[in-house]
Amino acid sequence: KLLEAASGSGSSEAQPALLELLHQIQHELQVGDSDEVKQVQKKLEELLTAALLAEPAPPTSKFICSAFCTVYARGSRTTMYTMMELLSSWISNKASPATSNASRVAILQLLGELCAVHGTSMINLALDAIALLIKQTRAAEPPLRVAAWSALAASLTSAGGLPVASQQEMLKSIKQTLTERNAPLELRVSCLSSITPLAKDTEGFWQGDMFETLSGLIVKCLDDPLVGVRTAGACALGKLCLAALAKPFRGRGSGAKGSANKLGAKINFLGKKNEANSQIEAVVGALTAPFLRSGVSKELRTAIARAFVVLLTGMKQSDAERHSEYVLSQLLPMISAPGGGSSSGKHPADCVTHILRCGLGERLSERGQQAMATALANHGTARSCPEATLTVVLKELALLLLQLQEVAADARDSLLQGDRPLLTLITHPARTVRLAACQCLWALVLAFPAHLAPLLNVSLNRLRAEHAKVAQSGTATAKETDVALEALNAQALAVGALVAAVPRTPFGGPATLINAALNAS
């Protein structure tokens, strides 16, 4: 009955009714008996083919493709090979019944779906279809090019490895599409979506310059005026890095004797060619190198941060734990990146903060977060730590201390006994660092309540000492008075942070210290 109803729904005015019928047919194909599917398969193929040529709308063509794939999965595959050859001939033959762009788009979509679902059962036909799709990416009509790229992204997942000639042709098409002037947004986004499947399908990925070529093309899109292109590029770059991590790596010193210079991934670090020794080094280097360039835009750095988050959140838990120390060591120098189109230089710090919170800290286990907190504490208390990096490190430490509580004992020891202890950072010349240090101090006493009374006592003594200096500075210059007041304000902020933590600690604090703080105020 559904087939009889669908036979009269081929006109463009009946697209909503056809969509509803296709939905019901799809459901019956999935739950029905396989013998019943085989009985109606011939009739169903005829009706689906007719619907395919009736200029279907995108939702309708999607259901048509899904129905075709389900028919060949539940029924017989005997006619699938003939259907593949017929669809390919309709695309390449000018005299085909598919006269409209909508029909050709639906056919390209069907070719991609059939290759994706049943490509392993027809390797040669799938490779021929992929070669045809690559050719269609250079068609004159933009809708056909968009459909061809989308179909390629779906079909490459089950091709079993593209020939080298097809890989080179696809690389040329990607470069042509991404560098084309005034290319539509949909075309560039669909092209970017096919890069990761190409990387997954390429054998000997690290032996040539495939990764460097693809990542370079994507990075150029991260500075595009269209936000949709930048977003798609960031996602594509992160997924490309994930695919690269899964590929066997041949770095320096591997392979035949005397061939070391030809193997491994060479990534451009600030204008100098350095050879990576592992996948993670090459991947992180490809992300950090454009970020650290002088004069790059805020949009590009924002997209790089998104790509980092895609990479880190897509990693396996074990890989994220194993590489967290190296990734952290590469992220912190990015905070001091030159330029960036921001007069305050705050944007690189915001990007790294986003990566640390959304990509790294959230993924790690308690043990990984403990190691991260210790590394941040050691870095923050070092005398060589820059001001911008220090602010980010202290803010991240505050969040980690609140999560880890008493587990972060090593980080606590570094903060209290490092080269520049936390109480010393309270008096830092930069106001942003002082506020971040107070935030970290507040989190520290919440994580370790036993340190509240000693720290509050020391801070009160320093507050009284600074207040005495201000009171005795009657003959000081205006500049010296300002310096003394800044020191007094810094100690007052520290005392305020500690007093604010008292209600949230399990047993509060000594009443004498609280009264002393009130008297000092």
The predicted pLDDT at position 15 comes to: 65
Domain annotation covers residue 337: yes
3-state helix, strand, coil in the chain (%, to 5): 75, 0, 25
| Adjacent-strand bridge partners of 433 | none
Task: Measure the CA angle with vertex 287, ends 286 and 290; round to 5°.
Answer: 90
| Adjacent-strand bridge partners of 268 | 273
Domain annotation covers residue 9: no
- On the CB side of 435, CA atoms within 13 Å amount to 5
DSSP, res 355: I
Structural domain boundaries enclosing 304: 209-252+264-342
The predicted pLDDT at position 92 comes to: 80
Domain annotation covers residue 286: yes
Domain annotation covers residue 348: no
Smallest CA-to-CA distance from 336 within 321, 346, 326, 322 is with 346
Rg (CA), the chain: 31
Give, in order, the Cα–Cα distances in Å from 423 to each of 201, 302, 433, 514. Answer: 55, 34, 12, 19
Q: How far apart are CA 447 and CA 400, in angstroms?
A: 10
**What are the residues whose beta carbons fall under 8 Å from the beta carbon of 57, sequence distance 6 or more?**
15, 19, 102
Give, in order, the Cα–Cα distances in Å from 244 to each of 34, 114, 254, 347. Answer: 41, 26, 18, 28
Domain annotation covers residue 81: no
The predicted pLDDT at position 258 comes to: 37
For the chain, the domain total comes to 1
The predicted pLDDT at position 475 comes to: 66
Domain annotation covers residue 283: yes
The predicted pLDDT at position 263 comes to: 34
Helix (H) or strand (E) holding 396: helix 387-404
Domain annotation covers residue 367: no
The predicted pLDDT at position 270 comes to: 38
The predicted pLDDT at position 513 comes to: 86
Copy the structure tokens of residue 215. 């990542």
Task: Measure the CA angle with vertex 443, ends 505 and 452; round to 5°.
Answer: 50
Q: pTM to 2 decimals?
A: 0.84
Contact call for residues 364 and 320 (beta carbons, < 8 A): yes
**pLDDT tens digit at each of 521 positions of the chain:** 555 554 444 455 556 777 788 788 888 888 888 888 888 888 888 888 888 888 888 888 888 899 899 989 888 888 899 999 999 999 888 778 888 888 999 999 999 999 999 888 888 899 999 999 999 999 989 999 999 999 999 998 776 678 888 889 999 999 999 999 889 999 999 999 999 999 988 888 888 888 999 999 999 999 999 999 999 999 999 999 999 999 888 654 444 333 333 334 444 433 334 577 889 999 999 999 999 998 889 999 999 999 999 999 999 988 999 999 999 999 999 998 886 444 446 889 999 999 998 888 888 889 999 999 999 999 999 988 888 899 999 999 999 999 999 999 999 999 999 899 999 999 998 899 999 999 999 999 999 999 999 999 999 999 888 888 877 776 667 777 787 888 888 889 999 999 999 999 888 888 888 888 888 88
Smallest CA-to-CA distance from 392 within 430, 432, 362, 364 is with 432
The predicted pLDDT at position 145 comes to: 94
SS3 of residue 33 by DSSP: coil
Domain annotation covers residue 35: no
In 355-430, alpha helices (H): 366-380, 387-404, 409-417, 422-425
Copy the structure tokens of residue 186. 């949909």
